[in-house]
């Protein structure tokens, strides 16, 4: 397995809209394994293809404490949402910054698992938040896009400072 390079804001490649996957071949299975290794290594709870410069609709998550509940979502679509929840989010592509973002509390999401089986799953809690965050990545959207202009300025300043150090 390989640890992949994670794109960092403001890399313009983070704005690419990922394309649907129509072939679950061996190469894709390798990519999934590499994405899990990369996510666990970076101590993240989710990773979208977009973040590792793979612009296909694939995301992996594991929000469990013991890191033993991996989920693979291929071509995920949110069918319905319910409620609103605010949570403090961070992102492996925006290191060193966290802020509160509003998300749907519960979602029903349709996707293919890594074997190509079609699933329709109700998700809540941290998993629902994480999946919404990762689907945003597949659409070229970052959690900081939801913040006020003043807060976005703060992020840009922070990134410039990190780049200088
Ligand atoms: Zn992220």
Q: In whole angstroms, what is the distance from residue 66 CA to residue 33 CA?
A: 18
Q: For residues 86-104, give the mean pLDDT.
A: 95
Q: How far is the CA of 92 from the centre of ligand 1 (A)?
A: 6
Indicate if the pLDDT at residue 164 is higher than 90: no
Query: How is residue 50 annotated by DSSP?
Result: G
Q: What is the pLDDT of residue 24?
A: 96
Q: How far is the CA of 108 from the centre of ligand 1 (A)?
A: 20
Q: How far is the CA of 93 from the centre of ligand 1 (A)?
A: 6
**Domain residue spans in the chain?**
12-164
pLDDT tens per residue across span 67-92: 999 999 999 999 999 999 999 999 99
Closest CA to 153 of 5, 3, 10: 10
56 Cβ contact list (under 8 Å, min separation 6) = 18, 19, 20, 21, 28, 49
Quickly tell me which residue has 């079609």 as its tokens: 118
Query: How is residue 97 annotated by DSSP?
Result: -
β-pairing, 99-112 with 46-48?
unpaired
Q: What is the pLDDT of residue 91?
A: 98
Q: In whole angstroms, what is the distance from residue 107 CA to residue 110 CA?
A: 10
pLDDT tens per residue across span 105-137: 999 999 999 999 999 999 999 999 999 999 999
pLDDT band for position 159 (cuts 50, 70, 90)? confident
Indicate if the pLDDT at residue 138 is higher than 90: yes
Q: How far is the CA of 100 from the centre of ligand 1 (A)?
A: 13
pLDDT tens per residue across span 29-58: 999 999 999 999 999 999 999 999 999 999
Q: How far is the CA of 45 from the centre of ligand 1 (A)?
A: 9
Q: What is the pLDDT of residue 163?
A: 81
Among this protein's residues, is 37 annotated catalytic? no
Type and span of the H or E element at 47: strand 46-48
β-pairing, 99-112 with 71-89?
antiparallel
Q: In whole angstroms, what is the distance from residue 10 CA to residue 134 CA?
A: 17
Phi, psi of 160 (to 5 degrees): -60, -40
Q: How far is the CA of 134 from the centre of ligand 1 (A)?
A: 6
Thinking of the domain 12-164, which architecture would CATH place it in? Answer: Alpha-Beta Complex (3.90)
Quickly tell me which residue has 């129509």 as its tokens: 22
Q: Which of 89, 134, 149, 163 is catalytic?
A: 134
Q: What is the pLDDT of residue 162?
A: 82
Q: In whole angstroms, what is the distance from residue 61 CA to residue 59 CA?
A: 7
């Amino acid at each position: 397995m390989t640890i992949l390079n994670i794109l960092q804001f403001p890399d313009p490649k983070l704005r690419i809209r990922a394309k649907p996957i129509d072939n679950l071949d061996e190469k894709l299975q390798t990519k999934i394994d590499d994405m899990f290794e990369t996510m666990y290594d970076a101590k993240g709870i989710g990773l979208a293809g977009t973040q590792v410069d793979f612009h296909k609709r694939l995301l992996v998550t594991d929000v469990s404490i013991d890191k033993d509940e991996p989920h693979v979502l291929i071509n995920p679509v949110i069918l319905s949402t319910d409620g609103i929840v605010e949570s403090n989010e961070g992102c492996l592509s925006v290191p060193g910054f966290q802020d509160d973002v509003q998300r749907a509390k519960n979602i029903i999401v349709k996707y293919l698992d890594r074997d190509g089986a079609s699933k329709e799953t109700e998700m809540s809690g941290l998993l629902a938040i994480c999946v919404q965050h990762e689907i945003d990545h597949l659409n070229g959207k970052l959690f900081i896009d939801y913040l006020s202009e003043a807060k976005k300025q703060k992020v840009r300043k922070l990134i410039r400072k990190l780049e200088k150090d």
